[in-house]
Chains A and B, each alone.
Chain A
Amino acid sequence: MKCLLDRLLARKAGDVLWVADPVGPIDINRLTQALSSVDPSDLQGKRFAVGALSAVEFICTLVFLDGLAQSILLLPTEDDQATRETRIAQAKVDIVVESAGFGFTKQLVKFDATEPNSIAQQTVARGPATIQTTWLLPTSGTTGTPKLIAHTFATLTRSMTTRSIGDDYTWGCLYSLRRFAGLQVFLQSWMCGTPLILNEESADLNDLLNCFINLKCNAISATPSMWRKLAMHPLFDRLALRQITLGGEIVDQSVLDMLASRFPGARITHIYASTEAGVGFAVRDGRAGFPAEYLLQPPLGVAMRIDEQSHLWFRATVGQSSATGAEDEWIDSGDVVAIQADRVRFLGRANGSINVGGNKVMPEEIESVIKELPEVAFVQVRARKSAMLGSLVEAAITPMPGTVMDVAFKRQVIAHCRARLDGFKVPAFIVAADGIQLTASGKLSRMTME
Chain B
Amino acid sequence: MKDLQDKITTAIQETARLRGTEVIALVDETILLESGLDSLGFAILVARLEEELGYDPFVLMDVPVYPRTLSEFVETYYRFAPKQ
Interface of A with B (CB < 8 Å)?
356-357, 384, 386-389, 392, 411, 414-415, 418, 423-424, 426, 428-429
Q: A356-B40, A357-B39 are in contact. Are A386 and B46 (CB under 8 A)?
A: yes
Asked whether B44 is an interface residue with its Cβ less than 8 Å from the other chain, the reply is yes
Indicate if the CB atoms of A387 and B18 lie closer than 8 Å: no
Indicate if the CB atoms of A389 and B43 lie closer than 8 Å: yes
Contact of A389 among B19, B20, B40, B56 (CB under 8 A): B40
- Chain B 50-68 near chain A by CB (<8 Å), digits 1 or 0: 0000001011000000000
Q: How far is the CB of B20 from chain A (nearest CB, A)?
A: 5
Residues of B within 8 A of A423 (CB): 19, 38, 40
Residues of B within 8 A of A415 (CB): 20
Indicate the member of A384, A386, A424 with the most B CB atoms within 10 Å.
Answer: A386
Indicate if the CB atoms of B40 and A384 lie closer than 8 Å: no
Question: For the complex, what is the distance from the CA of A242 to the CA of B43, rounded to whole Å?
Answer: 49
Give me 17 A-to-B residue pairs in the complex whose CB atoms sit less than 8 angstroms apart, sorted by A's number: A356-B40, A357-B40, A357-B43, A384-B47, A386-B43, A388-B43, A389-B40, A389-B43, A392-B43, A411-B18, A424-B40, A426-B19, A428-B18, A428-B43, A428-B44, A429-B44, A429-B47
Q: How far is the CB of B9 from chain A (nearest CB, A)?
A: 18
Indicate the member of A356, A387, A418 with the most B CB atoms within 10 Å.
Answer: A387
Number of interface residues of B (CB under 8 A): 15
Indicate if the CB atoms of A387 and B40 lie closer than 8 Å: no
Residues of B within 8 A of A414 (CB): 18
- Which B residues between 4 and 54 are near A, CB-CB below 8 angstroms? 17-20, 38-40, 42-44, 46-47
Question: Which single residue of chain B is at the shortest CB-CB distance from A427?
Answer: B18
Indicate if the CB atoms of A392 and B20 lie closer than 8 Å: no
SS class of chain A's interface: helix, strand, loop or mixed?
Answer: mixed
Question: For the complex, what is the distance from the CA of A418 to the CA of B41, rounded to whole Å?
Answer: 14
Residues of A within 8 A of B19 (CB): 423, 426
Indicate if the CB atoms of B39 and A389 lie closer than 8 Å: yes
Indicate if the CB atoms of B18 and A388 lie closer than 8 Å: no
Question: Which single residue of chain B is at the shortest CB-CB distance from A407?
Answer: B14
Indicate the member of B18, B19, B42, B58 with the most A CB atoms within 10 Å.
Answer: B18
Q: How far is the CB of A425 from chain B (nearest CB, A)?
A: 10
Question: Which single residue of chain A is at the shortest CB-CB distance from B18?
Answer: A414
Contact of B44 among A387, A392, A411 (CB under 8 A): A392
Residues of A within 8 A of B46 (CB): 386-388
Question: For the complex, what is the distance from the CA of A414 to the CA of B47, rounded to whole Å?
Answer: 17
Question: For the complex, what is the distance from the CA of A384 to the CA of B46, rounded to whole Å?
Answer: 12
Residues of A within 8 A of B38 (CB): 423
Residues of A within 8 A of B40 (CB): 356-357, 389, 423-424, 428
Indicate if the CB atoms of A388 and B39 lie closer than 8 Å: yes
Residues of A within 8 A of B43 (CB): 357, 386, 388-389, 392, 428
Indicate if the CB atoms of B20 and A418 lie closer than 8 Å: yes
- The 10 A-B pairs with the shortest beta carbon distances in the complex, nearest first, are A388-B43, A428-B44, A389-B43, A387-B59, A386-B43, A418-B20, A414-B18, A386-B47, A387-B58, A392-B47
Residues of A within 8 A of B59 (CB): 387
Q: How far is the CB of A59 from chain B (nearest CB, A)?
A: 49
Question: Which single residue of chain B is at the shortest CB-CB distance from A386?
Answer: B43
Q: How far is the CB of B24 from chain A (nearest CB, A)?
A: 19
Question: For the complex, what is the distance from the CA of A423 to the CA of B58, rounded to whole Å?
Answer: 24
Indicate if the CB atoms of A428 and B39 lie closer than 8 Å: no
Question: For the complex, what is the distance from the CA of A389 to the CA of B46, rounded to whole Å?
Answer: 11
Residues of B within 8 A of A428 (CB): 18, 40, 43-44, 47
Question: Which single residue of chain B is at the shortest CB-CB distance from A384?
Answer: B47
